[in-house]
């Protein structure tokens, strides 16, 4: 079995700033404040998703990659019934996420970007009540809760109120909660943010094990190694659009040359670019701005000597070099002209 | 509709409410009971108030306690849960329509309002001592009015909780709830306002008036009170209005 996911031409335009922006969220009791009355001169409009379509196959680990504000969380929000799409449709299995919310919700487990644990409960209660919401009987609930607490190394804190937990512990509990009702599809929005290195490895292990049971996994991440090692397929998203998708290997193969050398000179001219392009193994040369040049090539270090010589011969001074091995980082730079962390 | 999930959500709220039972009860009952002591005991014993005042006061105190309990039980957690941490999200992801989650909140609030109302009767009775003349001859009328009051308080709490931010709670209570209590005909019957014609009519927008007068009609019919059918009609209309507003606001808050 296994459940696939399909997204068709999804658009999301936010018409109000995020609720928490700017302190208290406006006093709006009763219908005294109609939107039309305070038509502000500039109406808020933010296009978060701009025609996103993709398909996730049943049983695969799918990664969404992109810089801050690209629309990853919004995509997950739409797929998990938490965000209403402005247009377009999303399906979990055969269910239209927006129209058949309850059926869709039964199939999914969600780890949000910010842990949203029920602060009125203890760690163990969070799991058992979550199981109860999904109709699990008392005995099943208790057993699964204990298993998951053990798995995520939270057993000794099981009876503590979660408000006393550290960020990483909350994150672990949040993942445990998402797995509590054994969902067919697991969404993880930046699951390893805030986790220490060992816990990250533990998380990877758990995700792989879960995937082996035939479950579909959708995750977003900023970490290249995570996307690289964990995901069967990836989509790169930027400014609410999918710019590229495929297996990590396929995506890497699209980068011209494979290696990327970011060079910084005292100045950059057209003739310098032409000279660089002539060097052996160079497939593409781009100038990002006044001082930076990106050189795509089939080799890294061995190219430094020739570059220095070329620059000196033409009277330029090379000030900085950064070599990126073939990786998703390079890929991302290639497609967006920006580093993932910009 | 999915009863298992609904029941589990209710069980969760019950669990949290039981954990906070004592502080919650104190919060909702202390003020009305202190009022009961000062006016129903001190003033009547010293002869500054007639003894009949005791019977008049009790239903009003009950109305106030129920309204405070219901509003706080629903509004306060909602305000924090919809805040930055979005604690409510795990329940929004439970396999049940979002509207039913709001209904569950209302039911939980109604139960707490009923408990507060039922605790306050013997408590106030004990404080005021002899001379309280309650009439339990109309149990169905009493139950109906009490349920309508409970629904009013928790649906109001839902509308409030989905409209007010954490920073405005204090303001809300001093600006809306406090005047509502003073002009809610809880500490005096509506007919006492006849000598202030404008106020007499103006207080009719205050739902607490119907709550106090309705409970008075059911528990102490010997005291002057508003016609029961008018009370029931007004409370039902207010309940429906608040229910509609609350559910709409909840939907708006729940989905981005
Ligand atoms: N509730 C909201 N209301 C208004 N705008 C929003 C809301 N949520 C997100 N946005 C905006 O939508 C855009 C996409 O945000 P989103 O959270 O999807 O990005 P992201 O890819 O998850 O970024 P990050 O890596 O920082 O988590 C951003 O510009 C953001 O400001
Ligand atoms: Mg995000």
Locate the domains of chain B by residue range: 3-254
Instruction: Say yes or no: A167 and A214 in one domain.
Output: yes
Chain A CB contacts of B93 under 8 Å are 80-82, 105, 108, 110
For residues A79-89, average pLDDT? 93
The Cα–Cα gap between A265 and A261 comes to 13
Which tens digit of pLDDT belongs to each residue from A90-148? 999 999 999 999 999 999 999 999 888 999 999 999 999 999 999 999 999 999 999 99
Tell me which of A195, A222, A252 is where a domain ends: A252
Mean of the per-residue pLDDT values of chain A: 84
Instruction: Say yes or no: A182 and A131 in one domain.
Output: yes
Residue A43 vs residue B15, higher pLDDT: B15
Instruction: Say yes or no: A112 and A182 in one domain.
Output: yes
The Cα–Cα gap between A301 and B59 comes to 87
**Structural domain contains residue A101:** yes
Domain residues for the domain of A262 are 256-325
Instruction: Say yes or no: A304 and A224 in one domain.
Output: no
DSSP codes joined into one string, B72-101 = HHHHHHHHHHTSTT-TTHHHHTSSS-HHHH
- Alpha helices for B166-227 (secondary structure H): 169-172, 178-182, 197-202, 207-219
DSSP codes joined into one string, A236-278 = EEETTEEEEEE-HHHHHHTSSSSEEEEEEES---HHHHHHHHT
In chain A, how many domains are there? 2
Which tens digit of pLDDT belongs to each residue from A290-338? 788 888 887 777 888 888 888 888 888 888 888 877 676 777 777 776 6
Report which of B4, B23, B18, B13 is spatially closest to residue B77, judged by C-alpha positions.
Answer: B13
Query: For chain A, how big is the Rg over CA atoms in Å?
Result: 24
Q: What is the pLDDT of residue A37?
A: 45
ipTM score of complex: 0.88
Tell me which of A252, A270, A293 is where a domain ends: A252
Q: Which residues line ligand 1 (CB under 6 A)?
A: A 14, 17-18, 46, 48, 66, 68-74, 113; B 256
**Percent of chain A scoring above 70 in pLDDT:** 89
* DSSP label of A89: E
pLDDT class of B25 with cuts at 50, 70, 90: confident
Size of interface A-B (CB pairs under 8 A): 105
**Structural domain contains residue A98:** yes
pTM (predicted TM-score): 0.84
At residue B54, the 3 state secondary structure works out as helix
- The best mutation among A45, A74, A227 to test binding of ligand 1, ranked by most ligand atoms within 8 Å of the C-beta, falls on A74
The Cα–Cα gap between B158 and A142 comes to 32
Which tens digit of pLDDT belongs to each residue from B102-158? 999 999 999 999 999 998 888 888 888 888 888 888 889 999 999 999 999 999 999
At residue A4, the 3 state secondary structure works out as coil
B86 C-alpha to ligand 2 centroid (Å) = 15
């Amino acid at each position: 079995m296994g459940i696939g996911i399909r997204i068709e031409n999804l658009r999301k335009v936010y018409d109000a700033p995020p609720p928490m922006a700017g302190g208290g969220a406006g006093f709006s009791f009763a219908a005294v404040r109609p939107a039309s009355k305070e038509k502000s001169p500039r109406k808020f409009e933010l296009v978060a998703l701009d025609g996103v379509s993709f398909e996730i196959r049943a049983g695969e680990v799918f990664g969404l990659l992109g810089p801050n504000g690209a629309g990853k969380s919004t995509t997950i929000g739409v797929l998990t019934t938490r965000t209403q799409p402005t247009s377009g449709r999303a399906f979990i299995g055969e269910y239209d996420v927006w129209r058949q919310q309850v059926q869709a919700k039964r199939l999914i487990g969600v780890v949000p970007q910010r842990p949203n644990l029920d602060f009125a409960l203890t760690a163990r209660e969070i799991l058992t009540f979550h199981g109860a919401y999904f109709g699990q009987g008392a005995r099943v609930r208790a057993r699964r809760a204990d298993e998951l607490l053990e798995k995520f190394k939270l057993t000794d804190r099981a009876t503590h109120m979660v408000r006393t937990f550290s960020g990483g512990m909350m994150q672990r509990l949040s993942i445990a909660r998402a797995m509590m009702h054994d969902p067919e599809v697991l969404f993880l929005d930046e699951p390893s943010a805030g986790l220490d290195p060992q816990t990250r490895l533990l998380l990877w292990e758990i995700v792989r094990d879960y995937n082996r049971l035939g479950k579909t996994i959708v995750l977003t991440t900023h970490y290249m190694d995570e996307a690289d090692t964990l995901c069967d397929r990836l989509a790169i998203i930027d400014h609410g659009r999918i710019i590229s998708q495929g297996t990590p290997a396929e995506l890497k193969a699209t980068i011209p040359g494979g290696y990327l050398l970011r060079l910084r000179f005292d100045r950059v001219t057209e003739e310098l670019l032409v000279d660089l392009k002539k060097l052996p193994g160079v497939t593409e040369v781009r100038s990002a701005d006044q001082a930076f040049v990106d050189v795509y090539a089939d080799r890294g270090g061995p190219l430094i000597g020739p570059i220095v010589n070329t620059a000196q011969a033409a009277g330029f001074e090379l000030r900085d070099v950064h070599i990126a091995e073939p990786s998703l980082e390079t890929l991302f730079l290639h497609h967006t002209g920006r580093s993932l962390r910009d | 509709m999915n009863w298992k999930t609904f029941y589990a959500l209710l069980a969760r709220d019950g669990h949290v409410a039981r954990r906070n039972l004592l502080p919650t009860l104190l919060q909702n009952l202390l003020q009305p009971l202190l009022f009961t002591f000062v006016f129903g005991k001190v003033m009547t014993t010293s002869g500054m108030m007639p003894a009949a005042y005791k019977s008049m006061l009790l239903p009003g105190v009950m109305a106030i306690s129920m309204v405070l309990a219901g509003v706080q039980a629903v509004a306060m957690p909602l305000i924090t849960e919809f805040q930055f941490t979005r604690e409510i999200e795990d329940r929004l992801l439970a396999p049940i329509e979002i509207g039913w989650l709001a209904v569950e909140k209302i039911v939980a609030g109604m139960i707490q309002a009923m408990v507060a109302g039922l605790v306050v009767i013997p408590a106030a009775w004990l404080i005021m001592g002899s001379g309280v003349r309650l009439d339990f001859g109309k149990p169905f009328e009493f139950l109906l009015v009490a349920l309508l009051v409970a629904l009013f308080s928790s649906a109001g709490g839902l509308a409030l909780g989905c409209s007010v931010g954490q920073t405005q709670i204090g303001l809300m209570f001093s600006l809306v709830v406090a005047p509502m209590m003073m002009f809610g005909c809880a500490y005096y019957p509506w007919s006492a306002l006849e000598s202030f014609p404008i106020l007499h009519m103006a207080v009719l927008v205050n739902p607490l008036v119907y709550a106090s007068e309705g409970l008075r009609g059911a528990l102490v019919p010997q005291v002057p009170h508003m016609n029961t059918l008018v009370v029931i009609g007004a409370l039902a209309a207010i309940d429906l209005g608040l229910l509609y507003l609350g559910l709409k606001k909840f939907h708006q808050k729940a989905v981005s």
